[in-house]
Structure 1
Amino acid sequence: MNRFTGKIVLITGGTSGMGLATAHRLVAEGAHVIVTSRTRARVDSAVHQLGPNASGIVADAADLGAVDALMETVRDRHGQLDSLFANAGTGTFLPFQNITEPDFDHGIDVNFKGVFFTVQKALPLLADGGSIVINASWTLHRGNSVLTLYSATKAAVHNLARTLAAALGCWWTDGYGGADGSCRWLPNGQALPVLGQELLGALLHDGQHSGVPAHQW
């Protein structure tokens, strides 16, 4: 299938894990994928794996100057975006009593502030019918003694998608994992292969769910 032919998709934190797996699927379906990471070596490695329909930009999601530069580079190279997957994230897995202020600041800066401003700064680049997917986590629904900071940041982006639904004038249904341009969240508890299909559908904004294009806010 080539559902993404001609589409430009930006995946922050797209050089490993779910981000890189999504990039592989999108490239296989015809998209040009832009991946980001904090290091040149990881960006180059991912682009080498993904092939000629991928490009990479070094950008730290926690650095707002770097996010600005990222969006300027995307505009200069591609003119617009069809989809954004705000996937960059980090985890500090320590007991509550052991978390330091630097740990706290880093977790908030990457997982919440970075997502918040990545979405904000990408909005002017989104094409008509463009989509936004925000990567949250099932951990926000669970209590775990070493996930206090991580789960709190993921709860924050979960709520951010709810408020974006109101701010961008699109409707909302509950779940977890990501929101597209119509603010449809991925279903909770799905197996990874099914989740992968839902994620691709959200990025494609496949017409099965009506909503206001994200940039018309």
Structure 2
Amino acid sequence: MTYQFDFGVVLRNYPILLEGTWLTIRLSITAMVLGLLIALAMVLARRSRFWGVSAISLAYVEIVRNTPFLVQIFLLYFGLPTLGIRMSPNTAAVIALSINVGAYATEIIRGGVESISKGQIEAGLAIGLRPLQVFRYVIFKPAMRAIYPALTSQFILIMLTSSVVASISANELTYVAQSLETMTFRSFEIYFVVTIVYLILTFLLSRIFDFLYGYLFSYPTR
């Protein structure tokens, strides 16, 4: 083996990698927030008494969950300009990630909401709670507590999936790594470090979600 490892190329270009890492974090957080809002809206739409509204929600979930994410982002970035709709790579990345995570989160949240029995809802109304209070205390919190692990796992997955947006030149971590590798030809060193960065991001995000779970959903023991 004659290959000489040179991690100095990474050290010399660490500001670029840090910038890419920061954009990955920003893209992921924005997609998580927007995706959660989309999911909540779609869950309410699915439970609507109007057939058309419910059908739109169902169609959205089925289309997004049954098509590749790469095709979705290509449609947004390369397809929409045909209709006169143009956007920057980063904007297309945020929209695509939000739409994608929203579809999966819709089904997760819907499952949690539907796990709450009608008896609990009726009991809340019987003791004088208003409908909004019933939703907040009887439906929403217990449902979120049940689905929290699955929902946060989906959020972590979307952070890792954000690497795909490098295909449209959104300058997140993977795209920065690709550009740096093209200039230096140090594939192993660059992608080894990028792998470590993704592992650290995943670990930190998992710890943050664990902390939030204990803070938001723990019940007093006495």
Shared fold (TM-score, shorter chain, > 0.5): no
Query: Between Structure 1 and Structure 2, which shows a larger proportion of helix residues?
Result: 2
Higher relative contact order (CA 8 A, sep 6+): 2
Larger radius of gyration: 2
Task: Using structure 1 for the length normalisation, give the TM-score.
Answer: 0.26
Query: Between Structure 1 and Structure 2, which shows a larger proportion of strand residues?
Result: 1
